[in-house]
Structure 1
């Protein structure tokens, strides 16, 4: 009897081992999370540098942008950055929250943003929502929103 139970245990372990080896690994959200956080960090630098070439490739054609002063699409956002109407000088990111829904990544970031708007330098605390979509192996930004926070500026 003990031999039968022992044989059954070894058979079960072998079967489980074989099954585990034939199944593809689960999707690693940590990899996507790190990819999006890095992409977001790069985006802030490109915005500070007014690098519209990199931003043109990142922003989806249907992307939307929401600011304290209005909302608009990709071409207007690129025009605002290129002209310097809004110069995103420095974004200090304090915390981020990441979620994946299918091929869509949502990143919420608590930031202080130093910007030049209409020739005046201002610093505002924001919760920034970034939405990225992965199609054909490439991430593009679909949406960027700034929500002003009631907390004082940290930096």
Structure 2
């Protein structure tokens, strides 16, 4: 019994370390979360700086490049009102980072508020001192979908 209790205590103490994020992962996670707020605020100046000039965007209604995404956000033809992030996984390899966010997105589209469950894939590349988004893809999922860590 004593061994089981000690093992349980060690497991509980060490579990947070298994999920600890590196400084780069923390930086990428903050950038990803900031991006959701910038989209809600329609802050195209900050988004223009974040999006690489060759970035691609994939949505339920189509795919396009940076200029069109910024136009959509600025005009409010899609207003990303709120992204409730339920789970995030980040993998970094060299100067590339991939982020998966499982979200419930509330958006104003074609005159209506809509709510959808997505897993959003974001690909970032370190360019000089800045991270630039190269890919932003929405995948429609059920609310029971889980991101494998």
* TM-score in terms of structure 2 length: 0.81
Distance 2:142 2:85 in 1: 16
Structure 1 stretches lacking a partner, 5+ long: 1-28
Distance 2:64 2:136 in 1: 10
After superposition, give the CA deviation of every residue in 1:105-136 in whole Å (9 maximum; x if it has no partner). Answer: 00001100000011110000000001110011
User: Which one has the largest radius of gyration?
Assistant: 1
Distance 1:67 1:43 in 2: 16
Residue 75, structure 1, aligned to residue 67, structure 2: yes
Map of 1:38-49 to 2, 5 A cutoff? 38-49=30-41
Alignment-derived partner of residue 132 in structure 1: 124
Distance 1:135 1:41 in 2: 20
Alignment-derived partner of residue 143 in structure 2: 151
Distance 2:65 2:49 in 1: 14
Could you tell me how far 1:137 is from its partner in structure 2?
Answer: 1.7
Q: How many pairs align?
A: 125
Equivalent position SS for 2:42: coil
Map of 1:56-95 to 2, 5 A cutoff? 56-95=48-87
Map of 1:86-105 to 2, 5 A cutoff? 86-105=78-97
Q: In angstroms, what is the RMSD of aligned CA positions?
A: 1.4
Equivalent position SS for 1:56: helix
Alignment-derived partner of residue 14 in structure 2: none
* TM-score in terms of structure 1 length: 0.78
Alignment-derived partner of residue 106 in structure 1: 98
Could you tell me how far 1:150 is from its partner in structure 2?
Answer: 2.2
Structure 2 stretches lacking a partner, 5+ long: 1-20, 145-149
